[in-house]
A and B are shown apart, each in its own frame.
Chain A
Amino acid sequence: MKIDPDCLTVDSVQAISAQDVPAMVAGNQLLCSAMGAAGVDGVTLCVTQLLRKHGPVPLLDLAALPPEAMCAAVGAVGGFAPTIELPPFGDEFTLAVRALEDRVGRRLDAIVSLNAAGPNALFPIAAAAALGLPLVDCDGMGRILPLIHQTTYALGGLHVTPLAGASQSGDVVVLETRSERADRLLRGVVDASGGFMICALYPATAGELRNAAITGSTSRILRAGRLLATASGRSSTLAGLSHTMGARLLASGRISELCHSSPSVGTRHYPSMPTSIVVDEYGRAGRTVRLEAQNELLLALIDGAVAAAVPDILCLFDHQKLRLVGLEGVIVGDHVDVLVIPAAPMWHSSRGLAVAGPRAFGFPVCHPREGGYR
């Protein structure tokens, strides 16, 4: 298959090299409120080594691919903690992709991202480098969502399976089932193989992806990462994030409470732990901002009224240290800005909100775009 070289320009980003990895790391934190700036050193090292070994990865616009070009999404399934303890060795990507190719009977022409956020923004780059394939500038979430079928790919009618997963121990599993069952089945295998697997999934042609992918995901976080890496002041950083990501300042204040609670009945199928953060706005008449999280920040209430909700992205920006604060790094007393980054328009459709809106996470409220409450 021939790829048009004239289309190898994606908003001035032609390829991703080892030098771009720090900016990618900084940028993907913005879309990953769970992790923030903590704990991706091992993953970063792995990806950097692969890029140095195999050279830069071309970053393609989805439109540049011929409709029949075969693609598959690559991403990690599992928790962050295992990747901190035991980062990938680098051969998991090839194992997973080759197993998927064997199953579908076609070689891949390009790699797409499962979700270009958090560590999963880096793994597709590593896979593309290891396999010598280009990376398509798109993803299926635009953020981090807990289930592998909570994607715009699934919204666009693509099937999660067949999928192939490879663990750091060299285990390879190929799964073919209905999309809704895939996550539950895969989760058992992931737990058994150490809590983390590199997966190749959503095998589809570029033509099928055009109606299902969120385009520009990787280049966007690369731009945001460059902005954050060179942040010199609060207002200029917020203005840059507003320009690059459409980020909006919801509130500024001091974190006054941080508490964990048990998952409610309706959300026990999520691999997550509810967390509640309270930010007291500055000033005598300051409002109370409550942030509800299940690994990721999902809901923001200001004085009890829903101000922002999943699938829009919420994140905390420490405006004194000029860095993002992940849930694991939240400390009572931190002075933070609460930012909202709008999700891709596909998520704001009624089907999108049914899959990844607040009700899907057990919050019996409507997304602000639906008018608040039912």
Chain B
Amino acid sequence: MNRQRPPGPLTVAELVHSGPLGRAHLVAAPHLDQQVTSVSLISDLAQARRCAPNTALVVHPAAAPGVWALESALRFAWERNASCVVAPSEISITDSTKQLAERLRVPLFTVDDPAEQALELAATIADTEAVRCRLTARCAVLLGERHRPQDIVAVINNEVPGVRVVLVTPDGHTLAGRAADNRPAGDPHQVRVPVPGPDGRPWAELVAYLATPSPSWVQTVETILKVARAPLAAAIAHSQLSSVRQAGKDRLLLEALLHGETTVPKDPPAVHSTAGRTDVAQIGREAGWRLDGTHVAVCLRPLEREICAPDAITPGIIAAWHEAFPQLPLVPMPRGWVTWFTGESAEPAPLADLIRRRLSGARIPISLATGIGQPATGLKGLRQSVAEADLAAEVASRSGESSVELYGELGPRVVLARLPLAEIADAALVLLADLAADPRTDVLVETLSVLLDCAGSTGQAASRLGVHRNTVLGRIERIRACGVDPDAPEQRLALHIACYALRSTRPSR
């Protein structure tokens, strides 16, 4: 700790939390953030009239023959901008005195021995550093005993007087503490300390709002925030490890279920076992999974253009999913994440709307495509629905934007989703080299593709393309001139797939 810094005065709140006022009875606490620079023990009310600003006014019993005298002392404290009034406990304080203290915004305490209290207060405010070191040490001990970010932030909020602390992400989302107000950075009432994640990269920021800033108090708060960084990183690492471990277990379990395995090797201490193996479905049910009834599977996967390591983003995706759907498991799978809705009311179309709505507000770190399977019953039905949702998600992932596709609306087209389009397009460029070299290659490929879609009907193709039939005939002549015969039966499938691959992989104009 820097011993050269100027000792800033303590506040009433600090004297309550870490000083002798902690043993006093707090009658009214309207404003504990005022600084205390001196102590005055008054044995005559007239002395109260002459007290300096920021004084802790300690009233000796001789100066308080009745509660009226205490109210007079409160009045003088208010007029002289004193920090607080400490009264002898032998005065029976009523509600009206308490209300007056609150109205005048003068904190009021009672103690058994005002003279002793005055001496202790004087000794404390003469050595502010000692009080703040005690505060920092106590915070360090308590922070080391907490294991959740919320608990760590709560320690600071509870122990550090006159300070409100929040833990926020770089995009402004509050992770712990009460949501912050919009004060600009650089505000003297604000202390910011970056908090690295377990990997050392910036993860969040601790922001403290101070009621009464002074250079030394700002340093004290900053020190406490820095002390909190290590417990926070440990808490996050623990949380992420737990999440990854749980995700791994869930994945193994779901894979076993989807592959039709009925048992897995016994994992001691297993409860439901048969000859050294454990019933998979039973494990799933014990994990809270609903395996009976009608299911509609949902598959999430990154868009094709997203470059990410699924294992690294899985904890974030699962956390965001649970913010949107707290009751539903999200299980990582090789190409994405799977969940399912169970119940008679689970219908794909309403589910699509619900998922769109909820995910639009969730804090998901990447763009996701969603596929939804058809309703199906039982474990066997779940397998089918998951397979359908996976295909639908593959279609959705190729759309280039966060979209939701329903398997039931895609029909046989989903088969095309599994084609290795990039490789086929490369081969097509070799096969149709002359056509690809034509200046109007896009138009010709489109025309060829539509012609094949329409089983060689030039009339239907003209209608779909929105051109005259003669134009289509002209283009066909030109295609033939490039060495491509759309009527040759043995070439039609290959040509059709090649055109589909070229159109799917070329950027749209």
List residues of A whose CB falls within 8 A of some B CB. Answer: 256-257, 259, 261, 264-266, 274, 276, 278, 280, 288, 290, 292, 299, 301, 303-306, 362-365, 373-374
Contact = CB atoms under 8 A, between A and B. Distances in A.
Interface stretch (B65-73, B345-353, B455-463): B65-73
B5 interface: no
Contacts of B49: 373
Given A304-B74, A305-B75, A288 B100 contact: yes
A363 B64 CA distance: 10
Given A259-B94, A304-B74, A276 B45 contact: no
Interface in B85-110: 92, 94-96, 99-100, 103-104
Contacts of A365: 45, 72
B442 interface: no
A280 B67 CA distance: 16
**Minimum-distance CB pairs A-B, first 4:** A304-B75, A264-B65, A304-B71, A278-B96
Contacts of B92: 259, 261
Contacts of A266: 65
B66 A276 contact: yes
B65 A290 contact: no
B114 to A, nearest CB: 17
Contacts of B69: 364
A299 B69 CA distance: 11
22 contacts: A256-B96, A257-B94, A259-B92, A276-B67, A278-B94, A290-B68, A290-B71, A292-B68, A299-B68, A301-B68, A301-B71, A301-B72, A303-B71, A303-B75, A303-B103, A304-B74, A304-B75, A304-B100, A304-B104, A305-B75, A306-B72, A373-B45
B62 to A, nearest CB: 9
B63 to A, nearest CB: 8
A58 B336 CA distance: 114
B46 interface: yes
Given A259-B94, A301-B72, A363-B68, 6 more contacts: A276-B68, A288-B96, A304-B75, A304-B100, A305-B72, A364-B44
A276 B76 CA distance: 20
A257 B71 contact: no
Interface string B369-397: 00000000000000000000000000000
B46 A364 contact: yes
A264 B67 CA distance: 12
B99 A288 contact: yes
Contacts of A364: 44-46, 63, 65, 69
A264 to B, nearest CB: 4
A373 B95 contact: no
Task: Among B44, B67, B95, find the residue whose CB has the most chain A CB atoms closer than 10 A.
Answer: B67
B484 to A, nearest CB: 89
Nearest to B70: A304
A276 B71 CA distance: 12
A295 to B, nearest CB: 15
Contacts of A256: 95-96
A174 B388 CA distance: 120
Contacts of A261: 66-67, 92
A259 B91 CA distance: 13
A374 B46 contact: yes
Contacts of A299: 68
A292 B74 CA distance: 17
A266 B65 CA distance: 9
A309 to B, nearest CB: 11
Nearest to B76: A304
B44 A304 contact: no
A362 B99 contact: no
Interface string B53-65: 0000000000101
Contacts of B74: 304
Contact of A290 (B46, B73, B96, B104): B96
B72 A274 contact: no
B7 to A, nearest CB: 33
Task: Among A261, A364, A374, find the residue whose CB has the most chain B CB atoms closer than 10 A.
Answer: A364
A52 to B, nearest CB: 46
Contacts of A292: 66, 68
Contacts of B78: 304
A231 B96 CA distance: 33
Contacts of B63: 364
Nearest to A374: B46
Nearest to A364: B45
Nearest to A279: B96
Nearest to A274: B66
A256 B78 CA distance: 23
Nearest to A261: B66
Task: Among B44, B72, B99, find the residue whose CB has the most chain A CB atoms closer than 10 A.
Answer: B72
Contacts of A280: 96
Interface string B491-504: 00000000000000
Interface in B436-489: none
Contacts of A274: 66
Contacts of B99: 288
A184 to B, nearest CB: 23
Interface string B28-50: 00000000000000001110010
Contacts of A278: 94, 96
Contacts of B73: 304
Given A257-B96, A301-B72, A264 B104 contact: no
Contacts of B71: 288, 290, 301, 303-304
A44 to B, nearest CB: 35
Contacts of A264: 65-66
A77 B76 CA distance: 40
Contacts of B76: 304
Contacts of B75: 301, 303-305
A198 to B, nearest CB: 34
A292 B99 CA distance: 18
Task: Among A266, A362, A373, A374, find the residue whose CB has the most chain B CB atoms closer than 10 A.
Answer: A373
Nearest to B71: A304
Nearest to A278: B96
B44 to A, nearest CB: 6
A305 B103 CA distance: 14
Contacts of A362: 65
